[in-house]
Structure 1
Amino acid sequence: MRERGARAPEAYPVITKPGMEITWGELHVGSRDVFADARFTGVNRPTLRRVVMRIDF
């Protein structure tokens, strides 16, 4: 991404919690933990189950 000029890619993952039921296909956008492990940080929380995450180059 960086090599092609991206400055701040964003993702809109689902917030998961242990024991919380997730319907099939809901995780196609990924989970917050996966993006946090990749050093994305949360910048906004538009709903209870979604977070906007960004990594600045």
Structure 2
Amino acid sequence: MILRLILPIATGFVQDQIQQKLKMKNIKPSSKIAIDKRLKELRKEFRANTNKHLIGIMKDLKLI
């Protein structure tokens, strides 16, 4: 689930577009609240302030 959220954000997608993509692929949870919650957890885990900061950290660690 992590890469399904982070990679689209890293390439410029917004959360609404990610939600639509997850729904089309029948991946659950796909609600905007679930996406927000997971991103918040990831930012906390990686000590990132924003999604951009999170992506930068993950790229530095070669996770994406």
TM-score, reference length from structure 1: 0.29
Structure number with the higher strand fraction is 1
Whichever structure has more helix as a proportion of its residues is 2
Taking CA–CA contacts closer than 8 Å with sequence separation of 6 or more, which of the two structures ends up with the larger relative contact order? 1
TM-score, normalised via structure 2 length: 0.27
